[in-house]
Structure 1
């Protein structure tokens, strides 16, 4: 994945160097164009406190660390049409309101995995479960052991469905067929994860659930070819708040957490001109 971003950065440097003199010539209008893209992301997450509540438990794990799951690029995984939704992906459809501003809707399919066997602080209680974890806790140490205590993942998707408003500015041209553009914008939406949580080996709920919301901001570099296709690199960051997470098959068991996130994305897409006049 890093190779893609390195090549993308190199293309941008070349484009700025060769395109400064022609930047204002042969500019095509973006107003009225529809665009779409598909790509992949790497994500990072801040530590968070995770609260668990149910009929026989009410406790908080503090400063819990987590990671994503896409550790390396694999052609068979990321380019296999039958497995498009398995890696961490980004999909978006947008419309240009004018030459600079677009509005869009999309899904950021991230994956969130609590690191196994980490030691954290726990406060609260677990009672009448018949396990070694029954007790009252007051900022005590506990090991998050997925085999006996808890595994916790949003790996069938930390699905951030969001609406974005972005500004696009052309910074250079390379000949008459390649444009270099900077973009920046804000986004907000809902988070609908399918949480893989297994508390005291009770199994998982395994259903998509509207768990909270997110807000964020994006910056990126876009290289457009022939006004039709593009490759785009994005840096995205934001905040996610999940006040209602399903944690077991028992619908009354719930979790709660919030954290900051960052993404590093590479996407590929195209434009559809909705303003084309029919030929007579």
Structure 2
């Protein structure tokens, strides 16, 4: 019995010394990501591939081929942080959670802006048969892949409020600070991220087609998928700057164009975003 008590006392002493040793070496906040939340806000510049746009209605059914477009940059502006005007620039918002050391799940909103380049020449194929009492009747005819200038009285077509991509994302996150010989990652940390996401497009489309009154409301218009890769720089444990390249495919098969529910448009294209964000990372 005496020997058992002696060995038990030794074991308890060793456990106590081990715990004291661990307490004397506090773990850095950045040593583990599991259970952390993160949130970010930023801006983007976006490029789009040319696309074919099909317009259908009671009095027309035609396709414009290889239509050019561009984004609508705001530049460095106070609107990015003005709560009343945050949707005017091209912005990105995201909130996510580390499910383990390297993997995150997130939901986000990419507020891009898509503007069809006005007055370009595109090929048109299809039919327009507007009532002669309407201004758009001047474009009546049957077209077989002939060139047409996209003047504003024929078509203005923008997703500028905006090309809203609401998505969920699954990403990997890796600390590469050691490659730069960074010792204290609580002060500065370098990470890389790669992700895949999918979601829906919820634009408010500004379309003036054949002088018809436009539809001016948000509408679920299709879906998108995306791949991303980024550099994530942490400062003082809780704050970060993040730069991402994000590319993907968008298919919108139900775009509202006019007040009439019979009128719609469809298009698909690839895009590439360059995103710069500020954010915070924390535990609740």
Please indicate the TM-score interval, normalised by the length of the shorter structure. 0.7 to 0.9
Note if 1:152 corresponds to 2:157: yes
Contact 1:125 1:134 in 2 (8 A): yes
The answer for the alignment partner of 1:107 in structure 2 is 109
The answer for the alignment partner of 1:180 in structure 2 is 190
Contact 1:44 1:67 in 2 (8 A): yes
Q: Equivalent residue of 1:84, what SS? A: coil
1:246-276 deviation digits (Å, cap 9, x = unpaired): 01111110101000000000000101213xx
The answer for the alignment partner of 1:221 in structure 2 is 231
Contact 1:239 1:260 in 2 (8 A): yes
Q: Equivalent residue of 1:77, what SS? A: helix
Once the two structures are superposed, the pairs formed by residues 37-76 of structure 1 within 5 Å of their partners are: 37-70=40-73, 72-76=74-78
The answer for the alignment partner of 1:4 in structure 2 is none
List structure 1 segments (4+ residues) > 6 angstroms apart after TM superposition.
none
The answer for the alignment partner of 2:85 in structure 1 is 83
1:231 to 241, 248, 267: 241
1:29 to 24, 32, 37: 32
Shift of 1:79: 3.5
The answer for the alignment partner of 1:141 in structure 2 is 147
CA distance in 2, matches of 1:166, 1:100: 8
Q: How many residues align?
A: 248
Q: Report the RMSD for the aligned CA atoms in angstroms.
A: 1.3
Note if 1:268 corresponds to 2:278: yes
| TM-score under structure 2 length normalisation | 0.85
The answer for the alignment partner of 2:167 in structure 1 is 162
Structure 1: state its 5+ residue gaps. 1-24, 275-280
CA distance in 2, matches of 1:69, 1:77: 14
Contact 2:165 2:200 in 1 (8 A): yes
Contact 2:226 2:246 in 1 (8 A): yes
Q: Equivalent residue of 1:216, what SS? A: strand
The answer for the alignment partner of 2:138 in structure 1 is 132
Shift of 1:175: 4.3
Structure 2: state its 5+ residue gaps. 1-26
Contact 2:170 2:196 in 1 (8 A): yes
1:96 to 98, 103, 127: 98
CA distance in 2, matches of 1:246, 1:262: 24
Shift of 1:74: 3.0
Q: Equivalent residue of 1:205, what SS? A: coil
Q: Equivalent residue of 1:132, what SS? A: helix
CA distance in 1, matches of 2:131, 2:209: 11
Contact 1:223 1:231 in 2 (8 A): yes
CA distance in 1, matches of 2:176, 2:199: 30
Larger Rg: 2
| TM-score under structure 1 length normalisation | 0.86
Q: Equivalent residue of 2:84, what SS? A: helix
CA distance in 2, matches of 1:179, 1:220: 14
CA distance in 2, matches of 1:128, 1:155: 27
Contact 1:28 1:227 in 2 (8 A): no
CA distance in 2, matches of 1:240, 1:232: 24
